[in-house]
Every structure is written in C-alpha cells, then in structure tokens.
Structure 1
Amino acid sequence: MTIVSPSTSPRRRTVFALSSFRLFGHRSGSDRSGPSASSNPSTASARSGWRRPPARGGRARWQAACVLVAAAALAFAAPADARKLRRHAHTPVALQLPASVTRALKRADVPLSSISVVVERIGDPTPLVALNAQTPMLPASTMKLVTTYAGLSVLGPDYRWRTSAYADGNLDPDGTLHGNLYIQGTGDPKLVPEELIDLVDKIRRAGITAIDGELVLDKRFFDPSTRDLPPFDDDAEAPYNVGPDPLLYAFKSLSFTLTPSPDGNVAIDVIPALAQLQIDNSLRASAGPCVGVDAALTPSVTPHRNGTVDALFSGDYPLRCGPRTINLAVLDHTAFFAGGFLALWRSAGGTFNGTTHEGPVPVGARLLAVHRGPVLTDIVRDINKFSNNVMARNLFLTIGAVVNKPPATPAKSRAVIERFLHTQALDMPELALENGSGLSREEHISAKSLADLLQHANASPVAQAFVASLPVAGVDGTMRNRLRSEPVFGNAHIKTGTLNDVRAIAGYVAADNGQSYVVVSFINDRHAAAARAAHDALLEWVYRGLR
C-alpha cells in the first residue's frame, strides 16, 4: 500500500511504501485499515474525515449546532432537496471552492457549470469538495489513469511484451537464409531502436547474416479494424495522432534536428534511421533575426513507387535560431517498422535484397529469437509522466488481447476493464471508453468516479508503481513547468489532460497539515485553455490543507 505524504521540505516529495495487501472487492476508503489508519485514535479520526467534538461538554453544543445547520437548510430547501438533506443530514457539508479558484475561473470566463471538482482525504471517499461531481465529462489524458491502473492490475506490473523472429527455409554454413524471416509483434509500446537492436543481435547470433527471401511482418495480435484510423484532428503528421499497431516502432515518428553553422551549412540528423529514407538538404544558414524558421523546419516528404522516401528541406535557416528539432509522423506502420528494422540489420552487417509484406508466421517455422520489452511498470511511467497517447492505446488493446485472446479489439478491452472495475466495486455507469488514451471526444467519466479509482489504486497492491508514474508538480513530466515557485512544489502527483475546450487534473496532494488528498477536476468549456491558473490555485489550496 502506498500513500502520498508531505515532504519535510517544500522542495522535496516523498512516497512512502508501506505493507502491500489486497483490498479488491472493497472501496479503499471503507476499510479503516487502509491508508488512513493509525494507531493514534486522534490521528485516525482526523484522517478518516471525522473531526473530534470539542472537549469539556462541547459535544452537546457541537451536536446542537449540527442540528440547527441542518434545520436551517431544510427550511429553505425545495421538497426533493429537503428529502435528500434529511437522508444525508449526518454527513459533513462539502466545502465551497476558494476565492482564488473562482477568481481564476472568472478571469478565464469559465462558469461554474463548466467545471467539476472532487477533493477527498486519502482513505475516505466522502467528498470534502464536490461540484458537479457526478456529471459525465471529457477527461482528456486523465483517462489514461483508468487504462494504466487496469493494466497494472490485470496484466501485472512485471508484464512484458514479446517481439519474436521466425524463419523457414534452409540456412547455409555461410549464414545465408534461403527462406523468409518473420517478425511477429504483440504491441510493445516502447519498441525503440535501443530495444529493437536486441532482436537484430539475437537473429545474428542464431547464425543468420544474409536473408535470401522476404521480410514478413505478422501483425495479427491486433484486429485490422484497429489500424489506419483517421487522425483525431487535422494535424495528421503530429506524433500524438499516431494510431496503435502490433509492431509499433519508435512511435512511428521521425525526429529531425537541424543545426546551423557559420560556414552557411545546416546539418540534419534524424532518429530513428530508416533504410528507405533519403534526405535532400537544400537549407542555407543565414544572418539576421530568428524569424520565419517554420518553413525551413518542415520538410516535404514524398514516398516513391520503388519504396524510397524523400524528405526535402529547403530555404533559409537563421543562424541565431540555433539547433531545433521537429517531430513528424510519416509513412504507415508496416513501412516504418520495415525501414527501421532493415536500417539496424544493415548497420549490424546483415544483408537483405528482398521485399517486405504482411503475413502470418507459418506452421513449422522455427523460432530464432525473442525480444522482451520493458516491464509494464516502466511503460506506465512513460504513459502517465509524458502523456503518450500511442503507448496508452497499445496498452489498452493489449489488455483485451491478453485476457480475451487476440486479435485485440476496443470492444474486448472495454469489456475487460469494465469487468475489472466492477469486481473492485468501482461501478461507473457514466464511463465511456473508446481508445483508453483520452484523445477522444467520445470518452467520458465523472470526477467522482475517477476519485474513487484514485482512492482504490492508492490502497492496491500496485499503488507504488501507479502513484510513482504520475507527474510531480514542478519536477517532471507534464507538470515540470508548473507551480515551481509555490509551496506545493514536489508535493503533488498529478496527471494532466488537455484538448481543445478541455482541461483536466487528477491525482494526489500531500498537504502541509500532514493529510493527503485525492484531487480531480475537469473543465469542459470553450475557454478551458485560459483556465490553467484555476487548477493551479486548486492544488495550492489543497496543499494548504483547504485553508
């Protein structure tokens, strides 16, 4: 079990790993042996959300005050509201948003009807703040919390994807394979050059140095319907628009780094190398201010019938701009993986003169090598820290393929995740999952449901891996440039989310009063982009103990 705890210094953050035990099937806050428990009764009562009444006869006055507040509320309530208040008169009245938050919302021209907020103490699911808490909202990338928590729990923190190589035909003593080489993928989200070279080396150690046949890619682990999906928006070459694939390589994106030099040349480096990629560099380093550089940074990419791809850079590149990097998603997954694999194969001394196509590994093909990717804990960290959409989408489909057998489909994954949530008493009738990344206008969840999930995750066996995967305020990931000069610096693990008209935060805050809190807030409004200050103010307020 893991709880987020305040640091002794405002510029440090600590995650305490306590005993690990299973609370599946129970809401984490309903078991007082959970993260809010304490051997000190006064501490335990404070952490559970119950405040000890005043001493020396103050209990009667405290109870009388509660009755008067409830009676006054009933007197002014509509009949339906009165019945609701009577039913919950024993529960504490939720706090209102502080003035710092409401002022920031007003400056951004965001009405309270467009924001939902839930704040709870760790271990107690009774909201201290609840505004539009049950309203289904677009969560943007905070939906990754549902996918990653389900993935860690269903697959296990040590789950590893496998990418395998098979061969048929005969192998000559000189290392020539007279047959096909097959690469079978299972959706490894982080099959980058540093990982794929391991498979290349293992194939070489199996005795193969030349392939006198075809390169065949087996991509049956995901259903064909999951591929070649339309981009989320008009920026089709943006890396965040890359779709899932069983043989996802380097996020199907190229990083071009341009470096001007005083002699008038502009060096261009590209990662990863693709065998079919040819760079046509017509850039000139120029004098003057760093303006109008966008045209020089954006290449014209042209695929040819023979399989080669030209990337043309042209124009003036101001020397004062210094090195710049642009990331572009180009080609389809099959061409991108094949080009990346063959570039590594040839750089290792291997030869290949055949063609590439998709197809199944035939019965009887012999296994040559297996590359096992990073453990799921590391993958989840990358997904949540850096809000990687394509990695989240590959994980989402993997959950369905592993539990419900391949080929993966979104429907299989939805069924597995919803069943898992149900077994943990995390029923979310408003939950709508499309691809598990939040890059969607169809995915919805309420702030209360996500807060319940955060409570449950914090008391689960995978708590440490899950909490550690969230960006730390002012320190790393998508929170590295936020709240750096505020006391909450280093004391909040917060997943962020942004889309056009959507801004979201969800995670844990270790407050300066010794309490730890769950915080969830969604803003769905055309002015959401201007409301970041409101979310920052909310986190600062929670860190100050809601004072």
Structure 2
Amino acid sequence: MKYFYLLIFLFFPLFSGAQNLQTYVQARLQHPVLNGAWWGGYAAYDNAEIFSVQADARFTPASTLKLLTTAAALEILGPHHRFQTRLYAQHRPDERGVLNGNLYLQGGADPTLGSTRVTGGETWQDVAARWARAVKRAGITRVEGSIIADESAFEGPSIPNKVNWENIGNYYAAPASPLCFNDNSFEIHFKPQPRADKPAEVEKTVPQVPGLTLKSFVTTDGKTKKDNAYAYGAPNQYEMEIYGTIPTNFMGFSIKAALPNPAQFAAEALHNALRAEGIAVGGRPLAEQTAPDYTEMQLLDTYESPELKDIVVIVNKRSFNLYAEMLLRNLALHAGKKGSVQNGLNELYAFLKKNHLADEKTAVLYDGSGLSRDNMLTPKTLVNTLLFMAKSPNFPYYYNSLATPDDRGDLLLLRRFLKPKKKVQEVRVKGGTIDGVKALAGYTHDKDGRIIAFALMANNLASKDEALFRIHEDIIKHLLALPEQTKNNRPF
C-alpha cells in the first residue's frame, strides 16, 4: 500500500492541470501520517473559493490563533499606538529632598517594557536607571515610603485558565501583568556537566530574583542537543522545581523560566537603581492591585513603548505568547474595562462578529495566543480574517508581520521551499504547533499576482513526523502555480 501512496505523490503533480485542486488536496490527505488524525483546510481568493476540506469544522488552532488577536489589535488600537508606563511621586519632596510618601509605577500594559525584543526597546536595567534619574531630577534624595508597582489595570488570573500545568512556569507561558518587565522571564544557568545521566546543578539565575528558591531534578542527556527541561511554578510562587533533561555540556547550559511576579520584580529593580544613584528608600518594594489617586501626585516620567506595528512582528514572526496575551487584555482596556482574559476575549469576539468573520460556533476561545488545546477555530474563520485584513489600510503591517518560509522565527515550517529556494517571498505564514497539533495559515500569490489566503490544520496527530509539513508545502506550491498548470508547465 505504501508504494501506491508513493506513486500518487510522485506522479499526481504532473497531471494536476487535468485535475481539480480539491481532488489533489484530498489525495494528499491519504498519507499514513494522517491516519486517525483530523485535517481541515481552506483556500480562497477574495471572491472565490479554491478548495475546501472540512472548512467549517472546529480545530485546535495552536498559534495560528494569533492571526485573530493581532488583526483585532491593529484595527482597534492602530498600528502607531504606543503603550505608556508612568512613574509618580506621591508628594513633592521637602526642602531637604525627602519624599514623605511613596513612588508609584503605574502599569500601562506595555508588553515590551524592559525588553529589547522589539526594535527601539531598552533593557530592564536601562529602564530602571532612567526611572532613578527621573527621581533624582525631581530633587528627591530619600524616599521615606515604598516603591509600589500598581497592577490595578488587570484583574483575574494572570495566566489563561486552560493553559496546562507543564507550560506554567516556563517563559513561553509567562504571566501577563500591567507591569511586564524583561519579558516576564529569567534565565536558569546550570553548571557544566559533560557526562550523561548525571544531575544538572543550578549555578545561578540571570537576573537574580529576590526570594526565589529553585530545586533541580534535571539530568543530562548525551543523545540529544535539545532542551527538554521544564520549570514548574505558579504565578506568585517563589519556590520552583525543574524537571526533565538538558544536553551534556562543557560550558554550562541555560533555560528560561517565568518570573513569579513581574510587577514586584520591576519595583525591586527601581529600588536597586535608586540605591545606585545614592537615593535611600525606607520601605520595601511592593506590588498592589488597588490604584491610588494620581490626581494630586507629581508625574516624574512617562515611558513609551515601540509602536504596535513593530510589536505585532514579534507576536507573529516569533510566535511570542506573552505579547499576544497582553494585546488581548489591551483590547479590554481600550474599551474601558479591566484587562482580564475574559474581557479581552469579549472584545475579540465583538471584533469578529462586527466584521462577519466568526461567531461562537466557529470560534471557541480561551486565550489570545493559542497555547490552550481547548481553543477551537474553523479553517474558514482564519481565511476570513486573512482576507479581511488584505483589504485593510493596516494590511502592509499585518502581512509583513508573518514569516517567510526561510524565517527561523516561525520554526522553518516550510523547509523544503529552500531546496531549491523558489518564490519564498511570495509566501507569508503563521504556524501553530502544540502536542498533536500542526497548523499553518497565511498568504500566497498566484502566477498573476492575485493574493490567496489559506489555512491548513491537523489535529490528533500521533507522531511528530514532518511528512505533514511536506503535504502542506505541496499544497502551497500548487496555490502558487494557479491558474492551473499543465503537465508541460510544472512550477516546481
């Protein structure tokens, strides 16, 4: 039977000019990698369907869900939107320079605060030093009160409810906070260990996280170069455990984990930066959920993020979950609501309904990043969103936020486009991969330059066999070759 499948795959493209692309796609789906799995796909021009396979069925989208979140953010907030974080002094200093009160960091839900992931961003050390200089310029020589991180813009769980336990504690599931700092993550460095099956001892964390204790159950693996270590720790939990394996190494090895309380860490960073400027602080750094009255306070500094259009590039090309979750909550803040997961989802649903892209039956959502397996989208919903954005004034920003097949940021999901490298720039993709799920959605252009939107989604996969990627590549190559080629005019 496997030789029959091989013959189909080798010779079917030769005669695709005589066949409907719908038939071609369905033939490719007979591959053994999809045995027992669930696959749906849809491709369309703005005004015409190209092929449809279970296009109205619901699938776990993984990170292709970010296409919806970023579309809504660009349309609602605008591509040039900047997030602001403000620093206040509770009172003016007295004649000796003493502030008889607190300093407040008002969290403005900037995903990028203290991060250099986005062009124009600054390190957390530079941001903290900037705040300290602002305090010094205000004539403050001593703070009798505390440094308080105001987290009141958000409410509810800092991690979406359906994210699984294995992910919580790791940088890619870092908790959202109105005061994100250093991408809400830190590095765990292990001591060198060149021998396999030995304990991996923690050497240090970068940066140091006050109050954090780590217990490592990690061992070394001499057969792989992959990081298979996972940090386990809930938000606000300062005792973390690490399990799994790391490669044997002579120089040490590091992984990233989630900060237990990013706002607390931001307050501590400012506390240390003030000490470096010779400014003493009487109270200890705190994170609080209740907002003070800022109307009579002295504004010392307003820190602005890079523009949203540049943040969206990191969300889609790098598939960065934290930024996606922060954008979801910002949809709620823009609507005058608290920045909770549910309020953000309500605004996303409203955007989808208003523009006739989806309803509760075609989009069942629990987060803004796709990290939960319980999210469900139809292939048609993804394509509807892509086609809607293709007509938007914000389309250039949206289109350029997606990866090309040779962009390592989206895990090189279309590796064979590089062998040989052809028409790479004619394809833009957003991939999605979690256990048992591989999805791909984006744009191609046909031979006449007309734009095509597509979504290819596989669920319940039993293995990590990359044969599915080859199927997806072949479907996209046929889309690139439209109008249909003849057997004497093979595009690849």
Using the size of structure 1 for normalisation, the TM-score is 0.69
2:111 matches 1:189: yes
> Cα offset for 1:273?
5.0
> Cα offset for 1:470?
0.8
Equivalent position SS for 1:208: coil
- Give the aligned partner of residue 29 of structure 1: none
Task: Give the aligned residue type for 2:41.
Answer: V
Deviations 1:172-201 (A, max 9, x none): 455442211111112111112526334444
Distance in structure 1 (CA, Å) of the matches to 2:101 and 2:189: 38
Distance in structure 2 (CA, Å) of the matches to 1:174 and 1:463: 55
- What is the percent sequence identity of the aligned residues? 23
- Give the aligned partner of residue 403 of structure 2: 471
Structure 2 CA distance for partners of 1:352 and 1:459, relative to 1, 3 Å: same
Q: Which is further off, 485-494 or 246-255?
A: 485-494
2:345 matches 1:410: no
Task: Give the aligned residue type for 2:60.
Answer: L
Task: Give the aligned residue type for 2:177.
Answer: D
Equivalent position SS for 2:332: helix
- For the Cα contact (< 8 Å) 1:504–1:522, is it kept in 2? yes
Equivalent position SS for 2:256: strand
Equivalent position SS for 2:424: coil
The two structures, once aligned, show a CA RMSD in angstroms of: 4.0
> Cα offset for 1:117?
0.6
- Give the aligned partner of residue 107 of structure 1: 32
- For the Cα contact (< 8 Å) 2:22–2:50, is it kept in 1? yes
> Cα offset for 1:274?
4.2
Structure 2 CA distance for partners of 1:238 and 1:297, relative to 1, 3 Å: closer
Equivalent position SS for 1:490: helix
Residue of 344, 355, 377 corresponding to 2:309: 377
> Cα offset for 1:116?
0.6
- Give the aligned partner of residue 367 of structure 1: 299
Map 1:369-518 → 2, pairs under 5 A? 369-403=301-335, 405-428=336-359, 429-480=361-412, 482-483=414-415, 484-486=418-420, 487-511=422-446, 514-518=449-453
- For the Cα contact (< 8 Å) 2:160–2:341, is it kept in 1? no
Map 1:163-312 → 2, pairs under 5 A? 163-173=85-95, 175-192=97-114, 194=122, 196-197=127-128, 198-226=130-158, 231-256=163-188, 270-272=205-207, 274=209
> Cα offset for 1:238?
1.4
Deviations 1:433-482 (A, max 9, x none): 22211112332211112101101101101101111111111124114474
Structure 2 CA distance for partners of 1:272 and 1:379, relative to 1, 3 Å: farther
Larger radius of gyration: 1
- For the Cα contact (< 8 Å) 1:220–1:406, is it kept in 2? no
- Give the aligned partner of residue 44 of structure 1: none
> Cα offset for 1:399?
0.3
Task: Give the aligned residue type for 1:116.
Answer: G
> Cα offset for 1:109?
3.7
> Cα offset for 1:368?
1.8
Distance in structure 1 (CA, Å) of the matches to 2:424 and 2:91: 60
Q: Which is further off, 446-455 or 421-430?
A: 421-430
Structure 1 residues without counterparts, runs of 5 or longer: 1-91, 282-287
Deviations 1:54-113 (A, max 9, x none): xxxxxxxxxxxxxxxxxxxxxxxxxxxxxxxxxxxxxx976223488436xx231435x7
Structure 2 CA distance for partners of 1:210 and 1:544, relative to 1, 3 Å: farther
> Cα offset for 1:422?
3.0
Task: Give the aligned residue type for 2:75.
Answer: S
Task: Give the aligned residue type for 2:479.
Answer: V
Distance in structure 1 (CA, Å) of the matches to 2:381 and 2:227: 45
> Cα offset for 1:348?
4.9
Structure 2 CA distance for partners of 1:380 and 1:348, relative to 1, 3 Å: farther
- Give the aligned partner of residue 66 of structure 1: none
Equivalent position SS for 2:478: helix
2:477 matches 1:540: yes
- For the Cα contact (< 8 Å) 2:189–2:252, is it kept in 1? yes
- For the Cα contact (< 8 Å) 1:472–1:479, is it kept in 2? no
Distance in structure 2 (CA, Å) of the matches to 1:144 and 1:333: 23
Equivalent position SS for 1:538: helix
- For the Cα contact (< 8 Å) 2:159–2:174, is it kept in 1? no
Distance in structure 2 (CA, Å) of the matches to 1:433 and 1:414: 7
- Give the aligned partner of residue 97 of structure 1: 24
Task: Give the aligned residue type for 1:445.
Answer: L
Task: Give the aligned residue type for 2:427.
Answer: A
- Give the aligned partner of residue 21 of structure 1: none
Equivalent position SS for 1:95: helix
- Give the aligned partner of residue 285 of structure 1: none
Distance in structure 2 (CA, Å) of the matches to 1:528 and 1:296: 17
- For the Cα contact (< 8 Å) 1:161–1:373, is it kept in 2? yes
Structure 2 residues without counterparts, runs of 5 or longer: 1-18, 116-121, 195-200, 486-492
Distance in structure 2 (CA, Å) of the matches to 1:275 and 1:207: 29
Structure 2 CA distance for partners of 1:226 and 1:132, relative to 1, 3 Å: same
Structure 2 CA distance for partners of 1:135 and 1:164, relative to 1, 3 Å: same
Distance in structure 2 (CA, Å) of the matches to 1:317 and 1:413: 40
- Give the aligned partner of residue 66 of structure 2: 144
Structure 2 CA distance for partners of 1:424 and 1:374, relative to 1, 3 Å: same
